[in-house]
């Protein structure tokens, strides 16, 4: 009885409900969930749950599912397959279930189709790609998703260039114009319904800070709405206007007059912006006006019907966007200069300290002084490393695009290994490269930094005399995989996500480093449209993975 009541409640939900047992087998789905994947409930119960997920996502999703046995709630986004072969982006909010004896009994999840939102996000990314490709600034209206629904943004985006003038990223700013666009939409709707409901139209126009006017060609009478008169600084009471009173508010009255004549005589488009000085002495306003001609059966003009809208705030916002874009570009340029100066001003003195300490260590025989000198040298080396890594992170983070070149990842990996050969010998660590003969992929030379970081970390945190396994291989036709397996201290589950954040590292004794290396690695991988993650090594230690598309662009 309780289950039947529960099922009825789930059927009323606007989200999919998906329940699997401890073995990962589907045991319940509401009709919304069945519709998302295109199967009947009976068919859905026979489909292995992980088979609905994209192949490249199954390993990390399986790891998340396994973590739920420890009582961990889980929220993530992924793609799932529809029966017809299409794919849907979904948001999964999963909660573990337990039996009365405390044993893990599976998972129940809310599944929300977010395909429309992801398509909008892809459109935003395409806009930014076009700005980078053209090298020119653009003003764009974009629709984005927000918790309270869709929002419309007026964005100004400009290419970000390095000191050599190369485009390395995007700088921009945005203003929420949802309410203004809704007002404009109301204006358009009201215009279409002018003959049907004058009163409703006037309400809509007031919301959009717009007024209407009608000019009788035969009598030369001009009628204006209440909102139109308010815009021009007169009492907001609809009625006939005095042409002289209106024209005195328009410094460019000749241009406006010529546009009206061209509309009447040549049927030219009447759509123009102009500035007015309101009659009540208020500050100057910028107006946008459109008009059309009503003609008789012979084609002679009878009346001009027009709309006028106060766009002062919009124009001010556009100017602010352009100004902010310029300021952001300049601020980023100054940041780059500061980073470069800071890097040299720290590394040069630190290198001098390091070199002087090396000389003193050669000459010093006192054990206590030698220990102090080694501490000084170690601190100088750490300062150099931290400054260099911070500079690299700032350079990589400055843009969200890289140029990719065809190369063999195995060769790049072997080059990184050769650079670290001395460190391997010092710790008596055996490195086994399981890579095959190689393959072709497109990537930036910065990927060698990722290889070197993962391998050097494995060396740093592995006991002397242990083994490190590495491999770069084709994962499938469109992607390739790189991993480093060590026998070191391992990474607790609580740190597996945050370890890739800048300045984040394990808070335990004996752990060295700034935490910037992994942040740089993840940034580089992200610019390749790839994924980096860490898993436990079953025999002790960690396995760091990177999966990249063969054609990142």
Domains 181-310 and 405-549 share a fold: no
Instruction: Give dist(CA 340, CA 380) in Å, integer.
Output: 19
Instruction: Give dist(CA 66, CA 342) in Å, integer.
Output: 46
pLDDT at 298: 87
Question: What whole-number percentage of the chain has pLDDT above 90?
Answer: 24
Query: Which two tokens mark 182?
Result: 């809704």
pLDDT at 282: 92
Question: Is the model's pLDDT at 515 over the cut of 70?
Answer: no
Q: Identify the weakest region by mean pLDDT among 106-115, 204-213, 376-385, 521-530.
A: 204-213
Question: Is the model's pLDDT at 507 over the cut of 60?
Answer: no
pLDDT at 518: 86
Question: Is the model's pLDDT at 513 over the cut of 50?
Answer: no
Class of the 405-549 domain? alpha beta
Q: In this structure, what DSSP letter does residue 463 have?
A: P
More confident residue, 284 or 354: 284
pLDDT at 514: 45
What are 463-490's pLDDT values in tens digits?
999 999 999 999 878 999 999 999 998 9
What are 82-135's pLDDT values in tens digits?
888 888 888 888 888 888 888 888 888 899 888 887 887 778 777 777 877 777
Asked if residues 281 and 248 have their Cβ atoms less than 8 Å apart, the reply is: no
Distances (CA, A) of 307 to 211, 278, 312, 393, 423: 6, 17, 16, 53, 76
DSSP string, 275-310: EE--TT-PPPEEEEEEEEEEE-TTS-EEEEEEEEEE
What are 7-56's pLDDT values in tens digits?
778 888 888 898 988 888 888 888 888 888 888 888 888 888 788 888 88
User: How many Cα atoms are found within 13 Å in the side-chain-facing hemisphere of 216?
Assistant: 10
What are 315-332's pLDDT values in tens digits?
888 888 888 888 877 777
Asked if residues 102 and 116 have their Cβ atoms less than 8 Å apart, the reply is: no
Task: Tell me if residue 145 falls in helix, strand or coil.
Answer: strand
CB-based contacts of 258, cutoff 8 Å, min separation 6: none
Nearest to 439 by CA among 406, 414, 415, 466: 406
pLDDT at 2: 45
Q: Identify the weakest region by mean pLDDT among 97-111, 310-324, 509-523, 539-553.
A: 509-523
**To the nearest whole number, what is the mean pLDDT of the chain?**
82
* Per-residue confidence band for 427, with pLDDT thresholds at 50, 70 and 90: very high
Instruction: Give dist(CA 128, CA 527) in Å, integer.
Output: 14
Q: What are the sequence ranges of the domains in the chain?
A: 2-113, 181-310, 316-397, 405-549
More confident residue, 340 or 199: 340
**pTM (predicted TM-score):** 0.39
Distances (CA, A) of 330 to 316, 319, 391: 21, 17, 19
Please give the order of strands across the beta sheet that includes 430-433.
430-433, 467-476, 479-485, 542-549, 531-536
* Segment holding 467, helix H or strand E: strand 467-476
Radius of gyration of the chain (CA): 33
Question: Is the model's pLDDT at 220 over the cut of 80?
Answer: yes
The dotted CATH code for 181-310 is 3.30.450.20
Question: What whole-number percentage of the chain has pLDDT above 70?
Answer: 86
The dotted CATH code for 2-113 is 3.30.450.20
């Amino acid at each position: 009885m309780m289950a039947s009541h529960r099922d009825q409640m789930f059927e009323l939900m606007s989200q999919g409900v998906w329940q699997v047992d401890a073995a990962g087998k589907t045991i319940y789905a509401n009709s919304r969930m069945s519709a998302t994947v295109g199967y009947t409930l009976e068919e859905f119960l026979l489909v292995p749950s992980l088979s609905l997920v994209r192949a490249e996502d199954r390993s990390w999703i399986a790891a998340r599912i396994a973590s739920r046995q420890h009582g961990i709630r889980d929220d993530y986004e992924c793609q799932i397959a529809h029966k017809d072969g299409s794919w849907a982006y979904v948001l999964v909010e999963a909660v573990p279930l337990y039996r009365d004896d405390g044993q893990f009994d599976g998972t129940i999840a809310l599944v929300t189709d977010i395909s429309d939102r992801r398509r909008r996000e892809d459109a935003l990314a395409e806009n930014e790609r076009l700005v980078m490709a053209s090298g020119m600034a653009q003003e764009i209206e974009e629709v984005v998703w927000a918790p309270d629904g869709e929002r419309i943004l007026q964005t100004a985006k400009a290419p970000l260039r390095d000191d050599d003038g190369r485009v390395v990223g995007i700088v921009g700013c945005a203003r929420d114009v949802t309410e203004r666009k809704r007002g404009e939409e109301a204006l358009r709707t009201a215009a279409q319904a002018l003959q049907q409901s004058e009163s409703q139209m006037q309400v809509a126009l007031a919301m959009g800070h717009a007024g209407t006017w009608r000019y009788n060609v035969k009598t030369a009478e001009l009628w204006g709405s209440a909102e139109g008169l308010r815009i021009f600084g007169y009492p907001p009471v609809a009625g006939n206007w005095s042409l002289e009173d209106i024209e005195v508010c328009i410094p460019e009255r000749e241009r406006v007059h010529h546009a009206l004549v061209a509309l009447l005589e040549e049927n030219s488009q009447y759509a123009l912006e102009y500035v007015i000085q309101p009659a009540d002495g208020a500050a100057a306003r910028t107006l946008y006006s459109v008009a059309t001609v009503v003609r008789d059966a012979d084609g002679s003009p009878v009346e001009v019907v027009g709309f006028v809208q106060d766009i002062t705030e919009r124009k001010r916002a556009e100017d602010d966007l352009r100004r902010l874009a310029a300021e952001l570009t300049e601020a980023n340029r100054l940041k780059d200069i500061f980073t470069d100066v800071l890097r040299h001003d720290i590394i040069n003195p630190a290198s001098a300290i390091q070199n002087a300490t090396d000389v003193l260590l050669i000459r010093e025989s006192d054990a206590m002084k030698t220990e102090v000198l080694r501490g000084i040298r170690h601190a100088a080396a750490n300062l150099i490393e931290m400054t260099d890594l911070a500079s690299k992170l700032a350079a990589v983070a400055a843009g969200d695009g890289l140029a990719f070149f065809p190369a063999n990842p195995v060769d790049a990996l072997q080059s990184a290994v050769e650079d670290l050969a001395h460190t391997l010998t010092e710790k008596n660590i055996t490195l086994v490269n399981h890579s095959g003969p190689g393959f072709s992929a497109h990537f930036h030379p910065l990927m060698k930094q990722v290889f070197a970081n993962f391998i050097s970390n494995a060396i740093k945190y592995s006991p002397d005399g242990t083994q490190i396994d590495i491999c770069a291989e084709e994962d499938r036709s469109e992607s390739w995989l790189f991993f480093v397996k060590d026998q070191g201290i391992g990474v607790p589950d609580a740190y597996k996500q945050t370890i890739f954040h800048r300045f984040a590292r394990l808070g335990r004794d004996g752990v060295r480093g700034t935490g910037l290396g992994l942040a740089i690695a993840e940034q580089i991988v992200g610019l390749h449209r790839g994924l980096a993650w860490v898993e436990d090594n079953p025999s002790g230690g960690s396995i760091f993975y990177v999966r990249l598309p063969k054609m990142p662009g």
